[in-house]
Structure 1
Amino acid sequence: MTNPYATIFRAPGAKGFAAAGFVARLPIAMAPIGLVTMLSQTYGEYWLAGAVAATFALTNALVAPQVSRLVDRLGQARVLIPSTLVSVLAFAVLITAAHLDWPIWTLFASALAAAAMPSIPAMVRARWTELFRDGPELGTAFAFESAADELVYIAGASLSVGLSVALFPEAGMLASTLFLAIGSSALILQHATEPKVRSIAREHRGSAILLRPVQIITFALIFVGAIFATAEVSAVAITRELGQPGAASLVIGVYAVGSFIVGIIVGALPLKLPLQRQLAIAIAVIAVTTLPLLVADTVALLALAIFVSGIGVSPTFITAFGLIERLVPQAMLTEGITWVTTGIGIGMALGSFAAGWTIDTFGAHNGFWVSVAAGTIALTTVLLGQRVLGEPRAASPERG
């Protein structure tokens, strides 16, 4: 049997842009936790660290789709160069401000500017789509990307915290900024695989978020993102309550491991079920597997329950991005993909807040009720949207 992953990497340029994209996306995981670690050590106040990190994350969630919209209209290189440069310089200012104890307003100002950071996962997925549009290899490519995302979250956060603790407070953010600069530069220089700029039909000249399929998938993945964040916050609270706070990183890590393993397997399978049905099944699995989390009362049971809860994550991402590729006009693809990833980020921010409030009010184990509620809403959204998600894509002619 032919290895489907070997097949996709035989395409010209695939190895190069996949490697560059992996390095360039590390800041997605490294920057938020790196900001918290750096500022909590340099300023000694967690509220400030959290506020600056939230400012960056939420602003980036709103700005990234606009950057991707420009990419669809002008091309990756023309937009990635200035947006990456602004983000890298802003991160450099933020690091300097923390090191030299500059006024607090400089932290927030530079965090806002750093939010110009482009959505590298969207750029890479757009390149895979350019190579394998409408072919069976595209599902495998999206599966690889989902696995790469999981590896980024597994390795990125740990690397950022580890560097800051072992070396100096700014080390994690410095490494994150270098990865963004080097990885993005390597991606920009690979012109051969850059997607073509396509003209936009008159009826599709607005934002991709105005399209019903993008709205449905993004809304559903907001609540999937909330489940991720709830798992992280609740794991920290429960392991602390059980007197084993050091086990939190292990428990959180197995969540991504479960998703990674299943994503690799699913990507190698020639599934024939319609994508909208696959998405409904994957989110149903996520929703159902939130229930065992409510009764996990030891670290071992918690780790097992969270591992099982992660098995539906990668299939959800794979099918969600597959549907975006199928349903969104090609001239709006990068923006469409970015809205989905943005939904996940917004959900994580909201989930962290909701889980934190629930834990403070009702106790550590009750944080997972947020996961149950979020899973129910996500599944209901996708089930109600099955007809829309099953419709054919609107045509979008190429520019000659």
Structure 2
Amino acid sequence: MSNPYREIFRAPGAKGFAAAGFIARLPVAMAPIGIVAMLSQTHGEYWLAGAVSATFALTNALLSPQISRLVDRFGQSAIVTPATLISVVAFAALMAGANQGWPTWTLFLSALFAATMPSMPAMIRARWTELFRNRPELNTAFAFESAMDEMMYIAGASLSVGLSVSLFPEAGILVNTLLLAFGTAAFILQRSSEPRIAPAEQRATGSAIRLRPVQIITLALIFVGAIFATAEVSAVAITRELGQPDAASLVIGVYALGSFVLGLVIGALNLTMPLQRQFAIALGVIALTQVPLLFAGTVPLLALAVFLSGVAISPTFITAFGLIERRVPESMLTEGVTWVMTGIGIGMALGAFAAGWVVDTFGARNGFWVSVVAGVVALATALVSQRALARERREATPVALAQPAE
């Protein structure tokens, strides 16, 4: 039996853009926590560090879909290059401001401009789609990308904090900026795999978020993102309550491991079940596996429950991006993928806030109620939307696409 992952990398240019893309996307995980690690050391105020980091994250969540919309219209090279250049210069200014004690407003301004950093996971998925559109290999490619996203969050956050703590405060953001600059340059220079630009007469108008499938999937993944963040916050709180705070990193690592492994397995299978049904099943598994978290009273039981609760995260992402590829017009693909990525990020921010409030108010063990509620809402969203998600993509004229898809 052939290895499906070996097969997708036989495509011309696949190895090159995948390798460069992994380097270029590490800043997605490195930047927010790197800003906190840097400013908390240089200024000694966590509120300031958190506020600047939140400014970057929320602005990036708003700007990324707009940048991707321009990419769909004008191409990756034309848009990603200047957007990245602005972000790199802004990160440099942020480091200088932190090191030299510039006024506080300069830190927030630098964070705003740094948020022009493009959504590299969306750019990479667009290239895979260009290679394998309407072919089973695309499912394998999306599975690989979901696994790489898991590695990105694990490796990126750890690398950023580790560098800042062990070397000097700006080290994490410095490496973040270098990876963003060189990784993106290496990615953009590979022009042969860049997705083609749709002809003007086939180009859709309006935003992808006006399309019903994008709205549904983004909403569902906001709640999945909340589950992801709640696991991290609650794991830290519970292990501290149990007197084993060092175990938090192990528990969180196990969470990502379960998702990573099952994602690779799903990618190797050629499932024939409709994607919208796979999406609902994956969300059903997520909702069901949140319940044991409420009863984990020891670190080993917590690690086991967290492992089980994470196994369906990657399959959910795989089917979500597969639905976007099949239900969104080709001329809106990058923006559609970016909206879903934005939904995950928004969910993580909201989930971290909600879980933190619940932990502070009702105790560490009750933080996982946020996961239970989010899982149920995500599943309900998918179940009531099965008919809408089952409708095939309509490659219509720009005029027809200007209205929300029904």
The TM-score, its normalising length taken from structure 1, stands at 0.98
Pair 1:17-2:21 in alignment: no
1:372 and 2:372 matched: yes
Retained in 2: the 8 A contact 1:200–1:397? no
Q: Report the alpha carbon displacement of residue 200 of structure 1 after superposing the two structures with TM.
A: 6.0
* 2:140 match: 140
Give the Cα–Cα distance (whole angstroms) in 2 for the partners of residues 50 and 200 of structure 1.
Answer: 43
Q: Which amino acid aligns with 1:176?
A: N
Distance apart, 1:199 and its partner CA: 3.5
Q: Separation in 2 of the partners of 1:304 and 1:237?
A: 17
Residue of structure 2 in register with 1:311 after alignment: 311
Q: Post-superposition shift, 1:109? A: 0.7
Aligned equivalent of 2:333: 333
Map of 1:1-400 to 2, 5 A cutoff?
Answer: 1-199=1-199, 204-396=204-396
Contact between 1:222 and 1:345, CA under 8 Å: does it hold in 2? yes
The Cα of 1:303 is off from its aligned counterpart by: 1.1
Q: Name the CA distance, whole Å, in 2 between partners of 1:203 and 1:41.
A: 48
Question: Which runs of 5 or more residues in structure 2 are unaligned?
Answer: 399-406
Which has the larger displacement, 352-361 or 327-336?
352-361
For 2:11 and 2:150, the matched residues in 1 are separated by: 23
Task: Tell me the CA shift for residue 204 of structure 1.
Answer: 3.6
Consecutive unaligned residues of structure 1, counting only runs of 5 or more, are none
Which amino acid in 2 is paired with 1:34? Answer: G
User: Do 1:234 and 1:359's aligned partners in 2 also have CA atoms closer than 8 Å?
Assistant: yes
Does structure 2 retain, via aligned residues, the 8 Å contact 1:147–1:264?
yes
Checking the alignment, whether the CA contact within 8 Å between 2:204 and 2:397 is kept in structure 1 is no
Is the 1:199–1:396 contact (alpha carbons within 8 Å) kept by the matching residues of 2? no
Whichever residue aligns with residue 142 of structure 2, its letter is F
CA contact (8 A) 1:330 1:396 kept: no
Q: C-alpha separation between the residues in 2 aligned to 1:203 and 1:145? A: 27
- Number of aligned residue pairs: give it: 398
- What letter is aligned with 2:7? T
- Where do 4+ consecutive residues of structure 1 move more than 4 Å? 200-203
Do 2:143 and 2:314's aligned partners in 1 also have CA atoms closer than 8 Å?
yes
Q: Percent identity?
A: 72
3-state SS of the aligned residue for 2:273? coil
Contact 1:277–1:386, Cα closer than 8 Å, also in 2: yes
Q: 1:220 touches 1:382 (CA, 8 Å); kept in 2?
A: yes
The residue matched to 1:245 in structure 2 has which SS? coil
Q: RMSD of aligned C-alpha atoms?
A: 1.2
Instruction: Tell me the secondary structure at the aligned position of residue 247 of structure 2.
Output: helix
CA deviation profile, 1:155-203 (whole Å, cap 9, x unmatched): 1111111111111111111111111101100011010000001146689
SS of the residue 2:391 aligns to: coil
Instruction: Please report how far the alpha carbon of residue 154 of structure 1 lies from its aligned counterpart in structure 2 after TM superposition.
Output: 1.3
What amino acid does structure 2 have at the position aligned with 1:26?
Answer: L
